[in-house]
Each structure stands twice: as structure tokens, then as C-alpha cells.
Amino acid sequence: MRLLKILPILALFLIASSNADAQCKAFAKKVCLPELGSFTHDGNYHAAVLVEGEEAELYKTFYSDMDYRIAICGEDKLPNVEFRIMDSNKNVLYSNKDHNFARTWDFKLQSSQQLKLIVKVSSFNQAGDTPASGCVSIMFGFKMKK
């Protein structure tokens, strides 16, 4: 009997979750994809709903002899979105916090390696306020060396 009460709630949660994912993917295509400019999109849409103060991590392999652009976009209702890029030795290669929360970073590597990308939505609400939430998208673009 208890299962019959839980199933409709679970189904509603799954529908709401997939709708949020679809909205975030549409946000990524509309708002963040243009941030790649002349870089070729890698074809992946990384987007999720994040809440103020929440952090997400993503690992990605980058290859030498290529130019890259990383673009991070958050919905307007969110505070600043910080992102840091770290190598396997936990050295911070870039932090947009040091660059007025820039939305893009262009780079190239001397050798192929896997990097860790950490995205964090800043917090600007007072204690007791309802934290803002919204879509955050991470896009990767590349250019082959000529």
C-alpha cells in the first residue's frame, strides 16, 4: 500500500528532473554555444541545475597541438559562476575569479593530459533567504593547429 503512495511522487520527480535537463540543454545551445566563437564545439552539452554555493566537477582529456576554449554560462538569476582548471597534481592552471569571473578561457597545452574543471555558483543571499538555482553550462571548443 505504501508503494502505491510513493510511485506517483517518484514519477513526478523523474518527469520534473528530465524537464529540467531538457531546459538546461536548450539554455546551453542558445546562450553558451555562441561563446565558443570560431572554435569548433566538441559536440557535448554539459549542463545542470545548480544552487547557490553548490559545486560540480568534470574531468576532460585535452591533447597537445590544439587550441581550446572553455565557456561557462549561468542563468542571469544566478550570482557569479566561478570555475577553476586543475592538473593531475592539483595545480590551479586558471581561475576565472582572478579575471573578473570571465566566461571563457582560451589555452593550449604542451602535452596531452586530463584536467579537472571545478564549477561553483557563488552565494549572495543572506541567511534564511531561499537560495537561487538555475542552469549552468560548460562547453568545450577546439581548433586544430595549422
Helical H segments across the chain, by residue range: 2-27
Count of CB atoms within 10 A of residue 8's CB? 9
Within 8 A by CB and 6+ apart from 60, the residues are: 114, 115, 117, 140
Mean pLDDT of 14-21: 48
Query: The C-alpha cell of 78 is what?
Result: 544566478
Is it the case that residue 40 has pLDDT exceeding 60?
Answer: yes
Q: Tell me the pLDDT tens digit for each residue of 61-78.
A: 999 989 999 999 999 889
pLDDT value at position 146? 62
* Integer Cα distance of 61 and 49 in angstroms: 24
- In the chain, DSSP finds a helix count (H) and a strand count (E) of 1, 9
Select the more confidently predicted residue: 41 or 144.
Answer: 41
User: In CATH, what number is assigned to the domain containing residue 47?
Assistant: 2.60.120.380
Residue 138 belongs to what domain range?
2-144
Place of cell 568545450: 140
HSE-CB for 50 with a 13 A CA cutoff: 28
DSSP state, residue 71? E
Q: How many domains, in total, are found in the chain?
A: 1
pLDDT value at position 130? 81
